[in-house]
């Protein structure tokens, strides 16, 4: 194991990416980066991290901000529960810890939106505590190097990986160790076509010896996805358009969207022309256009969406159901990326 660590440490020192959150030991900034990077590629996450730090340089500014401001800044990252948990946790830390980020693993783990991986990352990088960060990259490196043939999404496989990760953990420089192992998986021991010929571990790696790089790690479960059919209505009335706020526990909670008709099956264009959602309440409308179908893939669902652009001079029933706003202000609201794409493609909001 020492040979493994030695080679990975040398590789990391020579090949690591220069990332803004690697330039600090500030637990607030490290925690923020880890929440952003959940379900987000580093290349995309950097700009969001920079904007959040500029807008909220300390946890106090984040805690004081209205949720709509946080969600707007998060717009485009997806998985908005992360943003709501980030905001909620910042207020919790300010209220109960006077804005001082907790410095022990169990307390960090108890924070809303923080799981074992994130708690270990903050604890090790900010406070040099010996807790392994076992993400997808680490699963892959350990599975291949040690020849773990148990599915990594099974309880037995997870236990094996975590046990090895704990045995690899040094007593000091824990943050360096965790980042080196994750970076090695992200850049060198990649999922497809790993760079084994250039790998410093090729002489001792089980997967290389047995030619199992493409088979390991093994997964047994496939994510089930369901189909949903969304029909958004961009309703213009003079200089006004209408929005609604998503509520409940569904996707994109607390974000704004265009009035939505969701059906349990796909509607043809002819069916859409003959379908009048209840919110129109028999008012006269003029359908300007119907977009092509846009496919939006999420982890557990696939959304097939269309935009119906209409004009209506009868707004009484609309005002009862929706938020009326000026056309020029529509991009001030935090909306799902899917809605933003429709508006941009319709060149809406341009003079």
Q: What is the 3-state secondary structure (H, E, C) of 269-326?
A: HHHHHCCCCHHHCCCCEEEEEECCCEEEECCCEEEEEEEEEEEECCCHHHHHHCEEEE
Which residue among the candidates 18, 23, 34, 215 is catalytic per the annotation?
A: 34
Q: Using alpha carbons only, what angle is made at residue 273 by residues 271 and 275, rounded to the nearest 5 degrees?
A: 65
Alpha-carbon gap, residue 180 to 170, rounded angstroms: 12
Q: Supply the pLDDT for residue 53.
A: 98
Instruction: Please indicate, yes or no, if residue 85 is contained in any of the structural domains.
Output: yes
187 and 252 belong to one structural domain = no
34 is catalytic: yes
pLDDT at 350: 56
Task: Assess whether 204 and 116 both reside in one domain.
Answer: yes
Verify that 30 and 159 share a domain, yes or no.
yes
Query: How many C-beta atoms lie closer than 10 Å to residue 36's C-beta?
Result: 23
State which residues of the chain have pLDDT below 50.
351
Please give the Cα distance from 137 to 188 (Å, whole number).
10
Number of domains into which the chain is organized: 2
The size of the chain, in residues, is 351
Q: Which of 183, 210, 237 is the last residue of a domain?
A: 210
Can you give the residue range of the structural domain that contains 72? 2-210
Look at residue 190 in the predicted model and tell me its pLDDT. 96
Tokens describing residue 180: 């080196």
CA distances from 321 to 65, 243, 315 (A): 27, 9, 10
Same domain, 9 and 99: yes
Identify whether residues 69 and 169 lie together within a single domain: yes
Q: Which two tokens stand for residue 161?
A: 């990986």
Quote the pLDDT of residue 318: 81
pLDDT value of residue 282 = 62
The conformation of residue 244, written as its DSSP 8-state character, comes to E
With tokens 């209220």, the residue in question is: 95
| Residue 257: per-residue pLDDT | 96
Q: What's the pLDDT at 351?
A: 45
DSSP H or E stretch at residue 228: strand 226-237
Please give the pLDDT value at position 222.
Answer: 72
CATH code for the domain of 203? 1.10.340.30
Q: Which helix (H) or strand (E) holds 231?
A: strand 226-237
Collapsed DSSP state (helix, strand, coil) of residue 229: strand
Q: Are residues 290 and 241 in the same domain?
A: yes
Look-up of token digits 């980020």: 101
Do 205 and 230 belong together in one domain?
no
Whether residue 105 is found in the same domain as residue 172: yes
pLDDT of amino acid 195: 86
Helix, strand, coil percentages, rounded to 5, for the chain: 50, 15, 40
pLDDT tens digits, residue range 156-213? Answer: 999 999 999 999 999 999 999 999 999 999 999 999 989 899 999 999 999 999 999 9
If asked whether residues 168 and 266 sit together in one domain, one would say: no
């Amino acid at each position: 194991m020492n040979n493994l660590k030695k080679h990975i440490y040398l590789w990391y020192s020579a090949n690591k990416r220069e990332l803004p959150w690697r330039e600090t030991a500030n637990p607030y900034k490290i925690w923020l980066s880890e929440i952003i990077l959940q379900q987000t590629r580093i290349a995309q996450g950097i700009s969001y991290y920079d904007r959040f730090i500029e807008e909220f340089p300390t946890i106090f500014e984040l805690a004081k901000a209205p949720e709509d401001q946080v969600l707007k800044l998060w717009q485009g990252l997806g998985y908005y529960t992360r943003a709501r948990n980030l905001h909620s946790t910042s207020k919790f830390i300010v209220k109960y810890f006077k804005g001082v980020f907790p410095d022990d693993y169990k307390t960090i783990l108890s924070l809303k939106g923080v799981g074992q991986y994130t708690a270990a990352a903050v604890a090790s990088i900010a406070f040099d505590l010996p807790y392994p960060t076992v993400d997808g990259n680490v699963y892959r490196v350990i599975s291949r190097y040690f020849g773990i043939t148990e599915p990594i999404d099974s309880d037995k496989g997870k236990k094996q990986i975590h046990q090895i990760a704990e045995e690899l953990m040094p007593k000091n420089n824990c943050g360096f160790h965790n980042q080196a192992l994750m970076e090695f998986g992200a850049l060198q021991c990649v999922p497809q076509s790993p760079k084994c010929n250039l790998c410093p571990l090729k002489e001792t790696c089980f997967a290389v010896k047995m030619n199992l790089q493409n088979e390991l790690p093994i997964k047994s479960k496939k994510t089930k996805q369901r189909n949903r059919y969304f029909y958004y209505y961009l309703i213009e009335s003079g200089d006004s358009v209408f929005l609604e706020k998503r509520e409940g526990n569904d996707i994109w909670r607390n974000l704004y969207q265009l009035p939505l008709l969701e059906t349990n099956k796909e509607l043809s264009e002819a069916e859409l022309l003959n379908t009048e959602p209840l919110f129109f309440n028999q008012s006269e409308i003029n359908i300007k256009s119907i977009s092509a179908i846009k496919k939006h893939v999420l982890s557990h669902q696939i959304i097939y969406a269309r935009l119906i652009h209409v004009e209506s001079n009868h707004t009484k029933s609309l005002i009862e159901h929706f938020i009326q706003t000026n056309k020029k202000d529509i991009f001030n609201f935090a909306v799902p990326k899917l809605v933003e794409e429709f508006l941009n493609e319709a060149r809406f909001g341009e003079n």
